[in-house]
Amino acid sequence: MIAYVTVGADDMIRAKRFYTAFLPALGFRLQEGPEGLSFVLPVPPGAAAALPDFYVKPTFDGRPASAGNGTMVAFEARAQHQVRDLHAAALAAGGTDEGAPGFRDAYGPRFFVGYLRDPQGNKIALFSSNPDEPGRDG
């Protein structure tokens, strides 16, 4: 099981604006501190931690942050309209479009996805595969 994912950022103000445009709508709560941004899912009393956490932090070595070639973090939305709405909100908050929300022939008939990059260049996917919604062929 993946416990957490961390991406680097040189400009925490831009990163915060971008990630708070969509992660709270997916249930993540922001915990901000001197070490950066921590987005965590709430844990009901007595329940196990809901993983993974998502962290946006300055680099530990002090060198500029860079996006990994081939690295992508995907966040699941509840419905196709939420993918569209959150993709638009993330773009308005400083993201860059890497693929408009929609179905992709290479994936299953219910996999609805939009791609973007955060202000640092990290690739992000927002997707839904809700079985109660029409699929690519329907």
Between CA 78 and CA 88 the distance in angstroms is 16
Between CA 9 and CA 5 the distance in angstroms is 13
With contact defined as beta carbons under 8 Å apart, do 5 and 55 qualify? yes
At 138 the pLDDT is 66
Please report, for the chain, the start and end positions of each structural domain, with discontinuous segments joined by +: 4-60+71-128
Burial 99-127 (b: 16+ CB within 10 A, else e): eebebeeeeeebebbbbbbbbbebbbbbb
Between CA 43 and CA 84 the distance in angstroms is 27
At 34 the pLDDT is 86
pTM over 0.85: yes
Residue 55, token pair as written in the block: 């962290």
Average pLDDT on 109-125 reads 97
Average pLDDT on 26-36 reads 94
Model pLDDT for residues 41-90, shown as the tens digit of each residue = 999 899 988 889 999 999 999 999 999 989 999 999 999 999 999 999 99
Task: Give the homologous superfamily in CATH for domain 4-60+71-128.
Answer: 2,3-Dihydroxybiphenyl 1,2-Dioxygenase, domain 1 (3.10.180.10)
Taking Cα atoms as reference points, which of 1, 3, 5, 11 lies closest to residue 121?
Answer: 11
